[in-house]
Chain A
Amino acid sequence: MALDPLKIRIDFPILDQMIYKRSLVYFDNAATTQKPRQVINAIDKYYLLQNSNIHRGVHYLSQMATQAYEDARVHIQHFINARLSQEIIYTRGTTESINLVASSFGKKFISKGDTILVSNLEHHSNIVPWQFVCEEKGAVLKVIPINDEGEILLDAYTEMLDEKVKIVAVTHVSNALGTIVPVKEMIRLAHLKNIPVLIDGAQSVAHFQVDVQDLDADFFCFSGHKMYGPMGIGVLYGKEHWLEDLPPYQGGGEMIKDVTFEKTTYNDLPFKFEAGTPNVCDALGLDAALTYMQNLGLSEIYGYEEELLHFATARLLEIEGLKIIGTSPQKAGVISFLPDGIHPYDLGTILDKLGFALRTGNHCAQPLMHRLGIQGTLRASFAFYNTKEEINRLAEGIITAKRMFD
C-alpha cells in the first residue's frame, strides 16, 4: 500500500510549526530525523512507569526494565536479520560503534606496515578512528578512489586488496551525495582474500531493508536518531566470532564476570562491550521507532522516498545553472546541489529564512569535497513525511533567493 505522508505527519507534531513566519520544511533528515509520537511516548512511559537499573536487580521494576531492554535487542536483531541477539551491541551511535571496532580490532589485529582501507566517500567518523589506529600501530590508511559521479571504482578497489590489508571500512550510503555503495560486492571481494569489512550504515537503515547476513558484513554500525529513534543510542552489529575475538573496549560495570585486584574476567557477549549503566530508555525508544517503520513497511518507505528523490532531481534541474553533485543512478534519500553564481552559504542562509531546514557545507566529508574540487554543497535529505509539495516550495525558494542576489 502506498504511503500517505499527510497521515504520517500527524505523528510528527514538530513538523507542524512556523519559523520566521513561514511553515517549516524539514529537509535535514540525513543529519537527524524527527521522532514520531510513538517514540516520544515510549520514552515518556519509560520514565513514568518503568525506570530502573537493569540486569542486577531482583526486584520487579528491574526485571521488567531488563526484559524490555533485551526484547528491544531481539527486535534490532530481527530488523537487520542478524543471526544472534548477542551480535547486537548497544552503543551511543555510529561514531562510537566505529570507534569501538577500530580500537578493539586495531589492538589485536593491526601491526606496523598493515593497511586499512576506507573510501573517498567517508564521513569523518569513518576516517578519524582509523587514523588513530594507524598512528598508534604504524599502519597505513589507504583510500579507495571514486569517479566524478561519486561512485566507488570497484576495479581499483579490487587491486588494492592485497595481503597487507587487514580491514575495509566503507559507508553503505554516502551522507553527502546519497550514493548507494555496492557493499555486498565489496564484501564478497574482500572475503575472497579473507579480509573483514565494516559497513557504516548510518545513512542506509532508515531508507531500505538491511540484511546483514545477506550482505555478509563482519561489522555493521548505525544510529537510532537517524531512523526516527532518540539521540544517544546506536548499534554495533558484529559477527559472533569477531566479537568473541576482540578485546573489550571500555571497562566498568556490566562488562565483567569476576573482578579481583589481580585479574578480571569478562562477561559474555553482548555485555562484554557494554560497560556501565546502559541507556535503557533510548533503547526502548529505538524499539518503538523500528516498530513504526515496520508498520509503514520498509519497501514502501524505499519506494516513496525514491519517488521523492526522482521528483526533486527533475524539479531542481529545471532551475537555470543549478548543478547536482553526486549523479549515481543508485542513490538514497539525499540530493546535494550547487547554484550557479551564488555562494552556497548565501543561498543556504536565505533558504533558512524561507523556512527550509537543510545543510550547507562539507557535511563532515572534507576529503570528498577536496576530491570533487568544491568547498561544499547544499544538501536536502528526505524522509517519508516529506512531500512533493515541499519540494516544489524548495524549487520556488531557490528561484526567489537567486533573484535576491541578481
Chain B
Amino acid sequence: MAIIDIEQTIIEEFSHFEDWLDRYNYLIEMGKDLPKIDERFRTDQYLIAGCQSRVWLQADFADGKIIFTADSDAVITKGIVTLLIRVLSNQRPDDVLHANLGFVDTIGLREHLSPTRSNGLNSMIKQMKLFALAFKTKEQSSK
C-alpha cells in the first residue's frame, strides 16, 4: 500500500476515539504488540538521541524496500514507533524521503512533534529518513 493510503487508514482508525484516554489506550495496545527487536540491535549504536524514553531503530534493505524494526523501553513510545513502522516500513527509499506524515498531526499526536518534546518523535522520523537516504545513495552507486 502507498504511504498516503496507510496514513489514511490510521486516520480512520483514530477517528473513532472521542476521549484522549482511548486514543492512548490504542497506542498502548499497539505498543505491546510491536514485535521484539533482535537483542543485538538494542545497543547504543542503534539508540536514537534526544528521547526521554530510549528508542532503538534498525533498518534492512531488500528488493528495493526498507524494512524497519524498532523498540523502546516506554510503551507509548513503542506505540508511536509502531505507527511509523506501519507507514514507512516496506517502502522505497524515495517514498520514505518524501513522506510528509501529516497523519501524526491529524490523529492528535502533534504535541509529540514539537522539538522540545522529550519522546523525540522528530528524532525518530529524522533517523528513518537518514536510513532512506543512505539506502538510496547505496542503491544509486551500485547501479
Query: A: which residues have CB within 8 A of B?
Result: 20-21, 342-343, 345-346, 349-350, 353-354, 360-361, 375-376, 404-405
**A346 touching B20 in the complex, CB below 8 Å, given contacts A361-B52, A376-B52, A404-B25:** no
Contact yes or no, A353 B21, CB < 8 A: yes
A-B residue pairs in contact (CB < 8 Å), sample of 7: A345-B74, A345-B77, A346-B74, A346-B76, A350-B24, A361-B118, A376-B52
**A345 touching B25 in the complex, CB below 8 Å, given contacts A360-B118, A405-B75:** no
Given A343-B73, A346-B74, A346-B76, 10 further pairs, Cβ under 8 A = A345-B52, A345-B53, A345-B77, A345-B119, A346-B75, A346-B77, A349-B24, A350-B76, A353-B24, A404-B28
**A350 touching B75 in the complex, CB below 8 Å, given contacts A343-B53, A360-B118:** no
Task: List B residues 40-79 near A (Cβ within 8 Å).
Answer: 52-53, 73-77
Closest Cβ–Cβ distance, residue A21 to chain B (whole Å)? 7
**Cα-based distance from A106 to B19 in the complex (angstroms):** 55
B73 / chain A contacts, CB cutoff of 8 Å: 343
Chain B 1-37 near chain A by CB (<8 Å), digits 1 or 0? 0000000000000000001110011001000000000
**Cα-based distance from A238 to B19 in the complex (angstroms):** 52
Give the nearest-CB partner of A22 in chain B.
B20
**Most chain B CB atoms below 10 A, which of A360, A375, A404:** A404
**Cα-based distance from A354 to B25 in the complex (angstroms):** 13
Closest Cβ–Cβ distance, residue B28 to chain A (whole Å)? 6
Give the nearest-CB partner of B31 in chain A.
A346
A404 / chain B contacts, CB cutoff of 8 Å: 21, 24-25, 28
A376 / chain B contacts, CB cutoff of 8 Å: 52
Contact yes or no, A353 B20, CB < 8 A: yes
B19 / chain A contacts, CB cutoff of 8 Å: 21
B53 / chain A contacts, CB cutoff of 8 Å: 343, 345-346
**Cα-based distance from A360 to B9 in the complex (angstroms):** 32
A405 / chain B contacts, CB cutoff of 8 Å: 28, 75
Closest Cβ–Cβ distance, residue A142 to chain B (whole Å)? 29
**Which of B21, B52, B77 touches A350 (beta carbons < 8 Å)?**
B21
Closest Cβ–Cβ distance, residue B13 to chain A (whole Å)? 18
Closest Cβ–Cβ distance, residue B9 to chain A (whole Å)? 24
Contact yes or no, B21 A345, CB < 8 A: no
B25 / chain A contacts, CB cutoff of 8 Å: 404
B74 / chain A contacts, CB cutoff of 8 Å: 343, 345-346
Give the nearest-CB partner of A354 in chain B.
B21
Chain B 94-135 near chain A by CB (<8 Å), digits 1 or 0? 000000000000000000000000110000000000000000
B77 / chain A contacts, CB cutoff of 8 Å: 343, 345-346
Contact yes or no, A349 B52, CB < 8 A: no
A361 / chain B contacts, CB cutoff of 8 Å: 52, 118
Contact yes or no, B24 A345, CB < 8 A: no
A353 / chain B contacts, CB cutoff of 8 Å: 20-21, 24
**Cα-based distance from A353 to B76 in the complex (angstroms):** 13
**Cα-based distance from A128 to B24 in the complex (angstroms):** 38
A342 / chain B contacts, CB cutoff of 8 Å: 75
Closest Cβ–Cβ distance, residue A403 to chain B (whole Å)? 10
